[in-house]
């Protein structure tokens, strides 16, 4: 049952990130007001996959920025004693950005990760089928590494989705 819960919640997160109030809508609003970026990611750049950066580049042609959505941890804490599953699903969204120069890399990655967190903020509440997002997240910026178009940096956004199912 836990495998289905992880897949179901991952699908719900993906729908919120790619939906009408998702990342691309936030990036379009930011581009109109003050900041610009390399452009919004298309559907092929948003993946449901937990794969290391070097393996992703070896396995296929990667166009940056990419967004990887995956379930990191499932905890059945039995908060509601008579439910089959009552707990949290820890989700991760990795925003990967690459460019040829170091200058502006951090700023561009921050822009894409801010758009992702804004999409999460606008989707607080009941997600249906016993899933809900109360808000809150953690963003970790990894160090710049070689990869992609010479330099690459990853921002990992983790958050909890509450789940209550029979």
Domain range list for the chain: 2-165
Percent of the chain whose predicted confidence (pLDDT) is above 70: 91
Two structure tokens written together for 163: 């789940």
pLDDT digits (tens, 9 = 90+) for 19-39: 998 898 888 887 766 555 666
CA distance 158 to 71: 10
pLDDT digits (tens, 9 = 90+) for 55-113: 777 777 788 899 999 999 999 999 998 999 999 999 999 999 999 999 999 999 999 99
The per-residue pLDDT for 38 is 63
Query: Does CATH number 2.60.40 belong to domain 2-165?
Result: no
CA distance 160 to 152: 27
């Amino acid at each position: 049952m836990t495998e289905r819960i992880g897949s179901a919640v991952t699908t719900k997160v993906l729908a919120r990130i790619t939906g009408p109030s998702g990342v691309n809508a936030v990036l379009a609003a930011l581009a109109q007001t003050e900041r610009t970026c390399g452009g919004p990611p298309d559907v092929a750049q948003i993946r449901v996959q937990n794969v290391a950066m070097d393996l992703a580049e070896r396995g296929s042609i990667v166009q940056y920025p990419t967004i990887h959505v995956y379930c990191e941890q499932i905890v059945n804490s039995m908060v509601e004693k008579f439910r089959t599953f009552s707990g949290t699903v820890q989700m991760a969204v990795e925003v990967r950005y690459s460019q040829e120069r170091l200058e502006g890399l951090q700023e561009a990655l921050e822009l894409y990760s801010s758009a992702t967190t804004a999409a999460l903020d606008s989707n607080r509440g009941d997600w249906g089928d016993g899933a809900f997002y109360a808000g809150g997240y953690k963003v970790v910026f990894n160090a710049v590494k070689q990869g992609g178009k010479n330099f690459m940096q990853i921002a990992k956004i983790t958050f909890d989705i509450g789940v209550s199912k029979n």
